[in-house]
Amino acid sequence: MKDLVSVQRTSNKGLGIYAIRDINKDEVITEFTGPVVTIPEFDGFPDEVVNHLFNIGVDKYIMAREPAVRTNHSCEPNAGIVKDVFLVAMRDIKAGEEVTFDYSTIIADAWVMECGCGSHLCRKTIGKYVDLPLEVKQRYLKYTPEWIKQQ
Ligand SMILES: [Zn+2]
């Protein structure tokens, strides 16, 4: 599968992924692929690695490769997760736009992050899916992995 994004430096949050062409709503942008690990296995991994693990189930994570691993969080994202590992456009995306998804749609553990995404919808502290307001869950409904909806 051909990635529709490239990794580039953002102005204020390290690396990010950017659309290399116009992307249509519901197009697959990239896939999270890599070795699958569980919590005991990554105990002792550097923070840089732990902070970039991609959740695919309860206590089940992918050490994802680029470009997917460089996808930043936004509280007002233009992409979401379908079938556990596919990053899919939630709306039309223009070439050159940064592509983001809402990390809470894959968080089931105690991991939290402060957010300064700048959106008027910013929740400031990003944590578990179960703690999301109902209207946020509904906004992401088609773009949330099934495993986490069952939490
Ligand atoms: Zn935010």
Write out the DSSP string of 70-138. GPEE-SS-SEEEETTTEEEESS-B-TTPEEEE-GGGG--SS--EE-----TT--SEE--GGGS-HHHHH
More confident of the two residues 85 and 48:
85
Q: Report the separation in Å between the CA atom of 126 and the middle of ligand 1, taken as the mean of its atom positions.
A: 8
| In the predicted structure, residue 103 carries a pLDDT above the cut 90 | yes
Give the distance (Å) from ligand 1 centre to CA of residue 122. 4
Determine the distance separating the centroid of ligand 1 and the alpha carbon of 1, expressed in angstroms.
30
Tokens of 148: 């986490």
Q: What is the pLDDT of residues 20-60, one digit of tens each?
A: 999 999 999 999 999 999 877 877 888 888 888 999 999 89
How far apart CA 53 and CA 62 sit, in angstroms, is 6
Residue 79's pLDDT band, with cuts at 50, 70 and 90, is very high
pLDDT, averaged across the chain: 94
Confidence grade of residue 111 (pLDDT, cut at 50, 70, 90):
confident
Residue-range domain boundaries for the chain: 5-149
| Neighbouring residues of 28: CB distance < 8 A, sequence distance ≥ 6 | 1, 4, 82, 86, 87, 88
Cis peptide leading into residue 77 (ω within 30°): no
Q: 131 CA to middle of ligand 1, Å?
A: 15
- Between the CA of 98 and the centroid of ligand 1 the distance, in Å, is 15
Pick 5-149's CATH classification: 2.170.270.10, 3.40.640.10, 3.30.930.10, 3.90.79.10. Answer: 2.170.270.10
Q: For residue 25, what are its two tokens? A: 């709503």
Ligand 1 geometric centre to CA of 102 (Å): 9
Residue 142 C-alpha to ligand 1 middle, in angstroms?
20
